[in-house]
Chains A and B, each alone.
Chain A
Amino acid sequence: MSDLTRMTAVEIAALVAGGETSAVEVTRAHLDRIAAVDDRVHAFLHVDTDGALAAARAVDERRAAGEELGPLAGVPVAVKDVLATRGVPTTVGSKILEGWRPPYDATIVQRLREAGTVMLGKTNMDEFAMGSSTEYSAYGATHNPWDLSRIPGGSGGGSAAALAAYEAPLAIGSDTGGSIRQPGAVTGTVGAKPTYGGTSRYGLVAFSSSLDTPGPCARTVLDAALLHQVIGGHDPRDSTSIPQPVPDVVAAAKLGATGDLTGVRLGIVSEFVGEGAEPGVMAAFRESVDALAKLGAEIVEVSCPTFAYALPAYYLIAPSECSSNLARFDGVRFGLRVGDDGNRSLEEVMSLTREAGFGPEVKRRIMIGTYALSSGYYDAYYGQAQKVRTLITRDFTAAFERVDALISPTTPSVAFPMGARTADPYQMYLADLFTIPTNLYGGPGISVPCGLSEGLPVGLQVMAPTMADDRMYRVAAALESAVGTFTPPAL
Chain B
Amino acid sequence: MAAISREEVAHLARLSRLAVTEEELDMFAGQLDVILQAVAQVGEVAAADIPPTSHSVPLTNIFREDVVTPCLTPQEALSGAPDAEDQRFRVPRILSEDVAS
Show the binding face of A for B, using Cβ within 8 Å.
Answer: 100-104, 196-197, 210, 236, 239-240, 242, 306, 309, 312-313, 315-316, 323, 327, 330-337, 340, 342, 344-352, 354-355, 358, 360, 363-364, 366-368, 370-372, 374, 380-381, 383-391, 393, 424-426, 429, 440-443, 466
- Verify A340–B83 contact, CB threshold 8 A: yes
Chain A residues with CB below 8 A from B72, complex form: 103-104
Please, which residues of chain B bring their CB within 8 A of the CB of A334?
Answer: 80-82
Whole-angstrom CA separation of A340 from B81 in the bound complex? 13
A332–B91 contact, CB under 8 A?
yes
Q: Is B2 an interface residue (CB 8 A)?
A: no
Q: Interface 1/0s, chain B 25-62, versus A by CB < 8 A?
A: 00110011011101111111101001111111101001
Q: Which residues of A contact B50 (CB under 8 A)?
A: 387, 390-391
Q: Are A337 and B15 neighbours in the complex by a CB distance under 8 Å?
A: no
Q: Is the CB of B16 within 8 A of A388?
A: no
Q: Do A210 and B54 touch (CB < 8 A)? A: yes
Q: Which single member of B19, B40, B64, B92 contacts A355 (CB below 8 Å)? A: B19
Which residues of B sit under 8 angstroms from A344, Cβ to Cβ?
Answer: 92
Contact in complex: B83, A368 (CB < 8 Å): no
- CB of B76 within 8 A of CB of A316, answer no
Contact A345 B82 (CB under 8 A): no
- A315 in contact with B79 (CB, 8 Å): no
Minimum Cβ distance to chain B for residue A105 (Å):
12
Q: Is A354 within 8 A of B35, CB to CB?
A: no
Q: Is the interface of B mostly helix, strand, loop or mixed?
A: loop
Cross-chain contact B92 with A335 (CB below 8 angstroms)? no
Q: Inter-chain contact count A-B, CB under 8 Å?
A: 180
Residues of B within 8 A of A383 (CB): 52
Q: Decide: A346 and B39 in contact? CB cutoff 8 A.
A: no
Chain A neighbourhood of B53, CB < 8 A = 386-387, 389-390, 393, 440
A48 CB to closest chain B CB (Å) equals: 18
Chain B residues, Cβ within 8 Å of A441: 56
Most chain B Cβ neighbours within 10 Å, of A104, A348, A355: A355
Which single member of A239, A333, A440 contacts B81 (CB below 8 Å)? A333
Which chain A residue has the least Cβ–Cβ distance from B62?
A239
Q: Nearest chain-A residue to B37 (Cβ)?
A: A426
B16 CB contacts on chain A under 8 angstroms = 323, 354, 363, 366-367, 370
Contact A387 B52 (CB under 8 A): yes
Q: Are A101 and B80 in contact (CB under 8 A)?
A: yes
Q: Tell me, rounded to whole Å, the shortest Cβ–Cβ distance linking A138 to chain B.
A: 16
| B35: min CB distance to chain A, Å | 6
Query: Are B57 and A242 in contact, with the CB atoms below 8 A?
Result: yes
Hey, which chain B residues are within 8 Å of A367, CB to CB?
A: 9, 12-13, 16, 18, 28, 32
For residue A385, give the distance in angstroms from its CB to the closest CB of chain B. Answer: 5
B residues near A443, Cβ cutoff 8 Å: 56
- Complex formed: what's the CA distance from A348 to B56 in Å? 38
